[in-house]
Amino acid sequence: MHHTESNLIEINNKIKNKISSLSLDQYDPKVIAVSKTFKERDILPLLDYGHCDFGENKVQEALLKWGNLKKKYKNVKLHMLGKLQTNKAKYAVEIFDYIHSLDNLKLANKLANEIHKKNKKVKMFIQINLGGEKQKSGIEPNDLETFYRSCLLLKLDIIGTMCIPPDNQDPKFFFKELLNLNNKIKLPEISMGMTNDYLEALEFRSTYLRIGTGIFGKRTN
């Protein structure tokens, strides 16, 4: 068994145990295997195992890596997790099924144009900058409801919210805040929790866990 497969099985078991300890029924979060910088040889064992959700941070890398793989593995759902520039929106719509990093109105308009032009279905998360960090993308929490309404007018398929908590701070504070914001606009999905904090994210009903290092190992580039 390939190490990525055994790592994923171990993570899934930890998730099941955590959900059981929380006594939550009908709660089945999805694991996004974050395959950025990893080669096809690292991804194929997971595809053959039957895993469907994968995440990339760069449009160009995703196009090169997943163009043929998505034709062969029809059930794959590809998630854009990194900062998306408006000039890459056209290509992002071509390859991605989900975009987790919708963070400004200019990008929303561009994505709407491309989606309607191509008649493509792309599900989206609004990224929120909960820590007020200048180096991170995301809209301000106070702007969420206004931004969400603008996205609806553009007929974008907004399914949830996403955050990346500040480093070296308790992620639970930010997970709770995102859950509250998500509930305020009544969205069904939440994208939060990574290798170091995905079990904590389950306490706040995350539905998409973005796990890279825990599955593939440490990146070398």
Q: For every one of its 221 residues, what pLDDT tens digit does the chain have, with 9 covering 90 and above?
A: 889 999 999 999 999 999 999 998 899 999 999 999 999 999 999 999 999 999 999 999 999 999 999 999 999 999 999 999 999 999 999 999 999 999 999 999 999 999 999 999 999 999 999 977 677 789 999 999 999 999 999 999 999 999 999 988 899 999 999 999 999 999 999 999 999 999 999 999 999 999 999 999 987 66
pLDDT given for residue 75 in this prediction? 96
pLDDT given for residue 221 in this prediction? 60
- The C-alpha atoms of residue 28 and residue 99 are separated, in whole angstroms, by 20
pLDDT given for residue 133 in this prediction? 67
Which region, left, alpha or beta, applies to residue 130 given φ > 0 means left and ψ of -120 to 50 means alpha? alpha
